[in-house]
Amino acid sequence: MFGLRSVVLALLLPLVLAACGGPPRQLVVSAARPEDIAGTVKIFVATSRASTRQPEYFNGERSPSVAFARLDISVPRAHQVGQVELPGSVTSAGDPASHFTVSGVERLTEPEILKQVRAEIARRPQAEREVLVFVHGFNTNFADAAFRFAQIVTDSGFKGVPVLFTWPSRAQLFAYPYDRDSADFSRDALEIGLRAISSDLGANRFDILAHSMGTLLTVETLRQAAIRGDGSFGGKLRNVMLAAPDIDLDVFKTQLAAIKRPVTVFVSSDDRALDFSRQFAGDKKRLGAISEKDTDVVADLRKSGAMIIDLSGDRSGDEYNHGKFATTPRIVEMIGKRLGADGMGGGSGSGVLGLDSKASPSFAARDK
C-alpha cells in the first residue's frame, strides 16, 4: 500500500508543486493610463464564497447567502490572445502596460447588482443584449477566476454583459473532495442567478461557459432546473459550453437524459489535470479526457445531445492541457464567433463553433 501511494504521489508531484505556491492572488487596485491598456472589462460577480477583507475579497469557505460585486479589469495593450499576463508576485498590482490589472472593485447588494446589470444590458444594441455566465473549475481562487474570465471576454470579442459565478474552491490540490462538495453546495445559488438573468434584467438570451469541476455544478444546476419544469429558463438559455468537464461519463449520460438540451463539450485526451481527478474517482475516466478515438462513447454521447469537440491535437501554453478552451487562440476565437451569432434561440445546437456538424439532428425537438 505504501509503495503504491508513493508511486501515485510521484506521478502527481508536478501538479502538487504548482498548486502549493503560497497565498492566493490578490486584487490590488491600481490606476492605468489610457495609452497603456487595450481596454477595460467590466465583470459582474455572484458568489457562494464567504466574504473576507480586501484585497482577497472572497475566500474558499462557503457562505449561506450569495454575495455580489463588480470588477473593472484592464487589459494590457501588449496582450497576446490565449494568455493571462499577470505579475510574478500574487500580492503585486502589476504594470497595466504588461499585465491584467484591477482598476476597480465594488461590493454590491442584490438590488444594486440587478440595477447595474439591467443598465448595462439596456445601453447595448438589441443584438448585444446578452449575458455570458462563466463558472470556473477546481483549484481556483476568486482573483484567478476573474482574470481568466477577463481574458476570455477580451479574446472572444464578446459584446454582451459578463457575469462570473464563483463558488468556494479552496484552491488547494488535495482539497478536491471539499471543492466537489462546494460545487454541489452552490447549485441553488447558481440556479437563482440564472433565473434572475432570464427574467429580471432585460437580456434577450444568455450563454454558459463552464470549466473543469464547474461543469459538474453547471450541469447539475441545469438538471434540477429541468426537473422543476423550466430547464430552458423561459427560452433564454442558448449555448451551454463545457470545457474539460470533470464529470463521470455514466453520470453525464443521466444528466443529459434529464436536461434534454444540446451541450457542447470540449475534450482532450492529454488533459493531465483530469488524470489527477481520475485518482479520486475510482479510476473512472472523466468526460473531458475522451477523444474522437473513443468512437463508441462519442457516438453514444452525440445521440444523447452532446456535441463533442476534440482538442487533443491542439497545443497551447497550458502545460497541463486543462485550459485549452481559453489558451488556444483558435478555440477561444471560435467561441467568440458562436457567442456573436444572432437569432439563435435556446433550442439550437447544430454546427456549434463551425467545428463539427455530427450532432444529433433532433436537438431542436429535444429542447421543447
Strand partners, 161: 131
pLDDT in tens, 73-109: 999 999 999 999 999 999 999 999 999 999 999 999 9
pLDDT in tens, 154-164: 999 999 999 99
Q: Which of 230, 206, 49 is nearest to 134 (CA)?
A: 206
Q: pLDDT tier at 22 (50, 70, 90 boundaries)? A: low
Helices (H), 157-201: 176-185, 187-199
Give the pLDDT score at 76.
98
Q: How far is CA 270 from the centre of its chain?
A: 20
Ordered by where they begin, the domains of the chain are 2-366 (3.40.50.1820)
Residue 90 sits at φ, ψ, to 5 deg, of -75, -10
pLDDT in tens, 109-135: 999 999 999 999 999 999 999 999 999
Check whether 349 has a pLDDT greater than 70: no
Rg (CA), the chain: 19
What is the rounded CA–CA span in Å between residue 125 and residue 143? 30
What is the rounded CA–CA span in Å between residue 204 and residue 21? 42
Q: What is the pTM of this model?
A: 0.89
Top pLDDT among 281 and 329 is at 329
Cβ pair 23, 142 in contact under 8 A: no
In eight-state DSSP terms, residue 359 is: S
What is the rounded CA–CA span in Å between residue 349 and residue 368? 13
Check whether 15 has a pLDDT greater than 70: no
Residue 163 cell numbers, joined? 457575469
Q: Which of 67, 66, 69, 68 is nearest to 188 (CA)?
A: 66
Give the pLDDT score at 53.
96
| b/e sequence 326-359, b meaning 16+ C-beta within 10 Å | bbbeebbebbbebbebeebebbbbeebbebbeeb
pLDDT in tens, 215-267: 999 999 999 999 999 999 999 999 999 999 999 999 999 999 999 999 999 99
Check whether 312 has a pLDDT greater than 50: yes
Give the pLDDT score at 232.
97
Check whether 342 has a pLDDT greater than 60: no
Q: Which residues neighbour 355 within 8 Å (Cβ) at sequence distance 6 or greater?
A: 309, 334
Q: pLDDT tier at 315 (50, 70, 90 boundaries)? A: confident
Cis peptide preceding 55, ω within 30 of 0:
yes
